[in-house]
Amino acid sequence: MTEEKSCKRCGVCCRVIPLSTAHMSPEYRAYLLNRGLKEDQGFILIPHDCQHLQFTPENCFMPDLGGEWFCDIYYDPARPKVCQKFHGQKRIGSAIIYIPPGCGYRKDKVE
């Protein structure tokens, strides 16, 4: 079993749908970027929070001051298989996995 020491269970990896640019035409890639989407590590990032991602504010009276994101089914056996297998891997089988900035599993320095 993979160690999870670097995983903060912050939900950063669950807040986008990554679309690989590996076999994407340059025209389509430019179209998506012109629509305001961002690109990182060869993926176009489509903002979309997972339905299981929850936010707990630090201050219940002023939630805009900050808080923490977490997965409400992280320890549930019903958690999707791709989520269970992730553990910071860059590849699962033939699928290349997106590792977001700020994730403890990402090896490059991101500021």
- Inside any domain, residue 7: no
The reported pLDDT for the residue numbered 108 is 66
Q: Which domain holds residue 40?
A: 12-96
The reported pLDDT for the residue numbered 26 is 96
Give dist(CA 111, CA 99) in Å, integer: 15
- Inside any domain, residue 41: yes
User: What distance separates the 2 farthest-apart alpha carbons in the chain?
Assistant: 48
Each residue of 60-79: pLDDT tens digit? Answer: 666 666 778 888 888 888 88
- Inside any domain, residue 23: yes
Give dist(CA 31, CA 65) in Å, integer: 35
Contact status, residue 15 vs residue 49, Cβ threshold 8 Å: yes
- Inside any domain, residue 47: yes
Residue 6 pLDDT exceeds 70: no
- Inside any domain, residue 105: no
- Inside any domain, residue 107: no
Q: What residues does 3 pair with on adjacent strands? A: none
Contact status, residue 10 vs residue 69, Cβ threshold 8 Å: yes
- Inside any domain, residue 108: no
- Inside any domain, residue 66: yes
Each residue of 67-110: pLDDT tens digit? Answer: 788 888 888 888 888 788 776 667 777 777 888 877 777 776 54
Give the pLDDT mean for 3-23.
Answer: 77
Domain count, the chain: 1
Length of the chain equals: 111
